[in-house]
Amino acid sequence: MPWRCFYWAFERTNSRLQRRKAIVTVVLAFQSLGAIYGDIGTSPLYVFSSIFPSSIPTENQILGAVSCIFWAFTVVVIVKYCIIVLFLGPNNGEGGQVALYAKLARTLHVGPRGVVLPGEMEADDRLVLAKSVTHDSQLSRVRYRLTGWFEETALPKLLMGLCFFGCSLVLSDGLLTPTTSVLSAIGGIAVAAPSLNNAVLPISCGVLILLFLSQRLGSGKLSNIFAPIVLLWLVAIAVVGIINIAKHPAVFKALSPAFAVDFLKEQGGVDVLGGVMLSMTGVEAMFADVGHFGRLPIQLSLSGVVYPSLMLAYFGQAAYLILNPSGISNVFYLCIPGGINTPQYWIIFVLATLATVIASQALILGVFSILRQMIHIDCFPAFRVRHTSSRVFGQVYIPVVNYILMVGVVLTTVGFRTSNNVTAAYGLGISMDFFVTTTLITFCLVYVYRVAWYLYVPFFLAFGALDMCFVVAGIRKVPHGAWFPLVVTIVMTSFISFWRWARSLKVDYEYGSRVRVGTIFDGVEKNVDRNAETLALGRVLTNTLFEDDEMDKNKVPLKDLGHRVGEEQHSESTPPPPPVSSAGELRLRADPPLAVARMPHVVALLHSNVTQTLHSPNTVPQILSRLLKIFPGLPEHVVLLGSRVADMPFIAGDSKVNVHAMRNVPGFYRCVVRSGFMESGQITDTILSEILTLIEAEQVQGVCHLIENARVHARRKTFNGRWRFLRMGVELVRTFAIEQIFSPLDRVFERKRIDEEDKTDRHEFDVRVLYVGTIVSL
């Protein structure tokens, strides 16, 4: 009898969890309506007028056009993206080209050096800190999986190039989609009141600015606001479609693909597919926004709500055009029952305006998601990323990118002025993005899922050929404005590739500049402390450092030393350093060896790269060697400190700080501070006090943050020989790019990182910051 009660309770708990999970899925599916489908949901505003821009179509042409829309949408959006891409493409819950690249690079072990790829299993800090293994040796053990010139040399560059190109296409689309959607919707004013035609442009710019300013609220809150509007919009266009279909039900014979084939033959090629492609704009953002809501909610909302509503709308417009072919210029507004200036007309107009504003939301979120992933793999400048939800890791907001994108969209809107001009330039970038996604999915089928050739070859030939048809149709639009997304894509791809190249040079320099402790200190290999073991795991203190306000009055105020070594002199107001002890345990390697003076009761926190901190147990950063050349003395405790951001919102107190003593070097420790993505990641007084407790630093009088302040310069070369002038020209371009483009940007983001690490609270001891200047030659 007891076991039956237990079984009943278990079943009831399990069903309750399933119901709760189902409710969460439905809620996310509803929210996705307001964040993802605004773009693809507002395509009926301009698709038919783009297919027939300057002629009145016949009945067969209308049936052929709607047949092309139906089958292209079904094959590309439903079969390819909803079923195949959303199942095979996401990586660690994220979507887009970066996710596909990360999945491939993680499988083939060809990712950027020093980067933990999304989805890659991270070793426990406690275990890694205790091991004597280098990052390079790990790579050498796994690289044996790659065989052949293509996999070892060409494939990594090809995958990264496709990733950068695909991301740039989405970024260029992020400029055109808001412009197209908003101009098309606001243009409805001119249909009902032609005298307001000149007001369309300024109203559109104002609406776009308000949209970008609202992004700081976060995608979760915006989705709760936008989702009901998009749902009403989809229901409204479906109802309008049903009313028009009822007037001419024979339009459903266009479901036969024969009408689409005959229409393409009549048009004499694939040029018309450029207009058909506009019905699928936004699907690439749907894949990029997977991290905001999840795969299953997106699939449910797309197949259950969006797809049937759009098909009814397109068939309804086709039915109206068959009866009124002269209304092709603005078929969406003219097919509204009752005509213009009626209550239902203005209701649809208001919904269209709101829906087109929301249409921009999908691309904005896609840009945020892609750039966050690019920053994570060190392929884009490290803009500050703000997570807007503690439940969904992918819901992010990047303030600087948001305002840059706002300026770009407004300028694009002013430049194109009308929706017809924008739609002439729209579509080429999206079709090229389709082909890039198809290629990367094919590589995933080959290298990640390892399916048989008779599965991935038909996939690539079928979808790749269809994508290329859309690309060819879009190329015909280059003289009419499609050059704009190409130029933006080329510029963005060049910048991202240059940034990754320069960053790889700097990372290689950082790895190559590491100094073995044996080359600095004499006899450390022989002086092995067998009793040095992993210290107790860190625990975040829940109480404050001081019990009452009376003790706060006796605190020593925080002082920022702020002097750069070799650049500035100490000011008279700087307090004298702590007394130096001559009883040091370390000796500098020299002839004869020099004893290293230790400053008692002083702790130095040396901020370094977390990868180097974890995987280099017998090496130290070059900053320490440089510091010893200037000041042959060290604090009593030296902590090599690295930080790591986890994919959890908050880190439990007992796993936040991990410290391990370097057994070869007395007084040296390696430490990793983990923080959740909703936490600041700064060295606060609670974390600092916990570090001091773990290294058993008693009677601490001062803490010094040692931070490297690097200046990047291009190395100088001399050339001789026949081609010296050409090589000198190439070197001048290289020097200009490194010193005039990369170096200023790198200093800006390095300065931002330093400011974050320098932000500490008041302590019961003196806290100083020492910047050590170094020159990095690339």
**118-153: pLDDT as tens digits:** 766 666 666 666 664 444 444 433 443 555 667 777
Letter string b/e over residues 301-320, b meaning 16 or more CB atoms within 10 A of that residue's CB: bbeebbbebbbbbbbbbbbb
Rg (CA), the chain: 31
Q: Which of 159-163, 167-171, 279-283, 763-767 has the highest mean pLDDT?
A: 159-163
CA 610, distance to chain mean position in Å, is 21
Question: Which residue would you say has higher pLDDT here, 616 or 370?
Answer: 370
Task: Render pLDDT for 627-664 as a digit per residue (tens, 0 to 9).
Answer: 887 777 788 888 888 777 777 777 766 667 878 887 77
CA nearest neighbour of 656 among 678, 683, 687, 679: 687
Number of structural domains the chain divides into = 2
- The predicted pLDDT at position 76 comes to 92
What tokens were used for 494?
A: 């060049």
Last residue of a domain, one of 454, 489, 524: 489
Whether residues 302 and 424 fall in one domain: yes
- Predicted confidence (pLDDT) at residue 188 exceeds the cutoff of 80: no
Is 129 among the domain residues?
A: no
The DSSP symbol for 91 reads B
Give the residues across from 711 on adjacent strands.
775
Residue 624 near residue 605, CB atoms below 8 Å? no
Whether residues 694 and 639 fall in one domain: yes
- Per-residue confidence at 497, pLDDT binned at 50, 70, 90? very high
* DSSP state letters, 131-180: ----HHHHHHHHGGG--SHIIIIIHHHHHHHHHHHHHHHHHHHHHHHHHH
- The predicted pLDDT at position 274 comes to 80
CA 329, distance to chain mean position in Å, is 39
What tokens were used for 39?
A: 């773009």
Whether residues 96 and 217 fall in one domain: yes
Whether residues 459 and 417 fall in one domain: yes
Model-level pTM greater than 0.95?
A: no
Question: Which residue would you say has higher pLDDT here, 581 or 406?
Answer: 406
Task: Render pLDDT for 432-490 as a digit per residue (tens, 0 to 9).
Answer: 889 999 999 999 999 999 999 989 999 999 999 999 988 888 888 888 778 888 888 99
C-alpha dist (Å) from residue 108 to 99, 159, 284, 374, 606? 14, 11, 25, 19, 34
Instruction: Name the residue range of residue 604's domain.
Output: 513-571+579-777
Whether residues 302 and 407 fall in one domain: yes
Rounded-to-integer distance, Cα 161 and Cα 153, Å: 13
C-alpha dist (Å) from residue 339 to 238, 310, 331, 342, 346? 17, 21, 11, 6, 10
Whether residues 202 and 107 fall in one domain: yes
Task: Render pLDDT for 484-495 as a digit per residue (tens, 0 to 9).
Answer: 888 889 999 999
Whether residues 253 and 378 fall in one domain: yes
Letter string b/e over residues 552-578, b meaning 16 or more CB atoms within 10 A of that residue's CB: eeeeeeeeebebebeeeeeeeeeeebb
Rounded-to-integer distance, Cα 283 and Cα 238, Å: 20
Is 141 among the domain residues?
A: no
Angle at 519 between CA 514 and CA 520, to 5 degrees: 90
Whether residues 544 and 662 fall in one domain: yes
C-alpha dist (Å) from residue 120 to 99, 123, 447, 573? 12, 9, 16, 50
Whether residues 484 and 519 fall in one domain: no
Looking at residue 215, which CATH number applies to its domain? 1.20.1740
CA nearest neighbour of 419 among 503, 534, 354, 330: 330
- The predicted pLDDT at position 136 comes to 43
DSSP-H helix ranges across 268-418 = 273-276, 283-288, 290-293, 295-301, 307-323, 331-334, 343-376, 399-416
Whether residues 517 and 435 fall in one domain: no
Rounded-to-integer distance, Cα 516 and Cα 520, Å: 7
Is 722 among the domain residues?
A: yes
Is 139 among the domain residues?
A: no
- The predicted pLDDT at position 707 comes to 80
Rounded-to-integer distance, Cα 28 and Cα 301, Å: 9
**Cis check: omega of the bond before 399, within 30 degrees of 0:** no
Whether residues 605 and 707 fall in one domain: yes
Amino acid letter, 499? W
Angle at 412 between CA 406 and CA 415, to 5 degrees: 145
Question: Which residue would you say has higher pLDDT here, 365 or 234?
Answer: 234
Is 134 among the domain residues?
A: no
Is 501 among the domain residues?
A: no
Is 369 among the domain residues?
A: yes
Among 295-304, 683-692, 746-755, which stretch is predicted with the lowest mean pLDDT? 746-755
Is 507 among the domain residues?
A: no
Task: Render pLDDT for 199-257 as a digit per residue (tens, 0 to 9).
Answer: 778 888 888 888 888 887 776 677 677 788 888 999 999 999 999 999 999 999 999 99
Amino acid letter, 423? T
Rounded-to-integer distance, Cα 39 and Cα 725, Å: 52
- The predicted pLDDT at position 577 comes to 41
Q: What does the pLDDT average to over 252-273?
A: 86
Whether residues 564 and 663 fall in one domain: yes
How does the average pLDDT of the chain come out, rounded? 77
CA nearest neighbour of 373 among 399, 393, 400: 393
- The predicted pLDDT at position 604 comes to 85
What tokens were used for 473?
A: 């149709």
Of all residues in the chain, the percent with pLDDT exceeding 90 is: 13
Rounded-to-integer distance, Cα 262 and Cα 254, Å: 11
What tokens were used for 168?
A: 């740039």
Task: Render pLDDT for 57-114 as a digit per residue (tens, 0 to 9).
Answer: 888 989 999 999 999 999 999 999 989 998 888 888 788 888 899 899 888 888 887 7
Task: Render pLDDT for 662-709 as a digit per residue (tens, 0 to 9).
Answer: 777 888 888 888 777 777 666 666 777 778 777 777 778 788 888 877
Report the phi/psi class of residue 133: left, alpha or beta, with left for phi > 0 and alpha for psi in -120 to 50: beta
Give the residues across from 770 on adjacent strands.
563, 706
C-alpha dist (Å) from residue 253 to 64, 241, 465? 10, 16, 26
- The predicted pLDDT at position 392 comes to 65
Rounded-to-integer distance, Cα 284 and Cα 80, Å: 11
